[in-house]
Copies of this chain bind each other. A is one copy, B any other.
């Protein structure tokens, strides 16, 4: 007899009745607001072609490193989960992979993945029993059947999910053809891009050389010359803005910025182009480029996002066998106070610039980021991110940033996901957790309910709209 599956209407609210009542009231006022998803990693090809999703495993398991990393940590091989080897294609039976997931669902107890999956299973597919070994085939068949219908094609789901804007992330070396196809199709869904220049900025990136070549092709610039390289950025930024982008995104190992003289910057660039790449030079160049990007943002108005602090591809064997983004990125201690100073010394007091900073090092919330964002006009705090995109993680974010930075130096929620179907689930969790936090403030007489209501709407909708210029 399978366990019933349902979502309690009061989930994630405080247990204490007064705080819960306040949270419930606040949530009721924001739950139906449209979704703004200004930062994410869905595939624009889905919306360009609007083809049906292949099967449950390829839609829900194979692209979701939150899921397969957990099973991998318990000794399940990636092959069994249909994660394709580097440069290869997914092997094995998708149904078998799904059964493997189903048999390990207990691993996700207490994790946000469990919350998100439950939302997808109940709200998107109407399932009402829990996923387990026993129900694996029922799930597989139900979901596969749904995916074959028009109502589950990408655009239909986009509309059903009440998404007002969805941003994807592309490299400057991307042609943006899917985005152009979306626009040319006449479909009214707003899918925009974001400018993520890491592959042409990070000389240690495995695709640096190839990306620069493509960068040159797409811009007609001599990108191996410092002036041409900068001009190529300007050209691609303009093309991205034309394709709807309102932001850039920078996923560096650290938050280091630099403000070299033009001569020194050019000399450094020449070294890297000449193949004289040391870790120190690569780091300094990434640092310098953040300041260059900030200068360009002052010209073209693109909002800057800095996402530092992940040790990418920590598992050597896995990286060699499966490539990047396979759940083996590990956060590291991250400094902001010294790291951001060169950029802030140059542009920090300019309210026309907007730099949204993220962290994987929660110790920086109260110690560094809230004090910085609570002072510098150009800085805003991105939401609890990645490993911290979770009820406890979001609670810590609010508890540790609000008292110094307030709510109005934050920018609402980012789902940052490749898992398209989980977008409504993720935004729902975020809205609930924010309302839970606000409800507690109300119940402890630290904030009036009417003010809390304004904050709830701002966090769910107004702040991301303003911060990302949507």
Contacts of A409 in B (CB 8 A): 73-74
Min CB distance A131 to B, Å, is 13
Min CB distance A251 to B, Å, is 16
Query: Interface with B: A35-43, A139-147, A395-403, which one?
Result: A395-403
Docked-complex contact A387 and B404, CB < 8 angstroms: yes
A11 CA to B380 CA, complexed, in Å:
29
A351 CA to B7 CA, complexed, in Å:
35
Choice from B18, B106, B112, B363 contacting A451 with Cβ under 8 Å: B106
A341 CA to B314 CA, complexed, in Å:
8
Decide: A13 near B446, CB < 8 A? Known: A375-B73, A400-B392.
no
A316 CA to B347 CA, complexed, in Å:
11
Asked if A188 is at the interface of the complex by the 8 Å CB criterion, the answer is no
Asked if A333 is at the interface of the complex by the 8 Å CB criterion, the answer is yes
Contacts of A338 in B (CB 8 A): 311, 332
A375 CA to B337 CA, complexed, in Å:
30
Contacts of A345 in B (CB 8 A): 315-317
Query: Interface with B: A47-55, A150-158, A209-217, A365-373, which one?
Result: A365-373
Docked-complex contact B376 and A315, CB < 8 angstroms: yes
Choice from B109, B311, B447 contacting A406 with Cβ under 8 Å: B109
Asked if A235 is at the interface of the complex by the 8 Å CB criterion, the answer is no
A406 CA to B67 CA, complexed, in Å:
11
Docked-complex contact B393 and A366, CB < 8 angstroms: yes
Contacts of A74 in B (CB 8 A): 351, 377, 408-409
Docked-complex contact B377 and A110, CB < 8 angstroms: no
Closest residue of chain B to A400 (Cβ to Cβ) is: B392
Interface residues of A in 328-345 (CB under 8 A from B): 328-333, 335, 337-338, 341, 344-345
Query: Interface with B: A265-273, A282-290, A436-444, which one?
Result: A436-444
Docked-complex contact A15 and B443, CB < 8 angstroms: yes
Choice from B8, B13, B109, B371 contacting A387 with Cβ under 8 Å: B371
Closest residue of chain B to A75 (Cβ to Cβ) is: B351
Docked-complex contact B366 and A403, CB < 8 angstroms: no
Interface string of A3-35 (1 = CB under 8 A from B): 100011011111110110000000000000000
Docked-complex contact B376 and A73, CB < 8 angstroms: yes
Interface string of A211-240 (1 = CB under 8 A from B): 000000000000000000000000000000
Docked-complex contact B106 and A454, CB < 8 angstroms: yes
Decide: A368 near B399, CB < 8 A? Known: A15-B16, A110-B407.
no
Q: Which residues of A contact B (CB under 8 A)?
A: 3, 7-8, 10-16, 18-19, 69-70, 72-75, 106-112, 115, 311, 314-318, 327-333, 335, 337-338, 341, 344-345, 348-349, 351, 360-363, 366-368, 370-377, 379, 387-388, 390-393, 399-400, 402-409, 440-441, 443-448, 450-451, 454-455
In the assembled complex, 23 residue pairs joining A and B whose CB atoms fall closer than 8 Å, in A order, are A10-B445, A15-B440, A109-B407, A109-B447, A110-B446, A110-B447, A111-B406, A112-B403, A314-B341, A314-B375, A317-B345, A317-B349, A329-B371, A331-B367, A333-B335, A333-B367, A360-B367, A361-B367, A363-B367, A366-B393, A367-B387, A370-B387, A387-B403
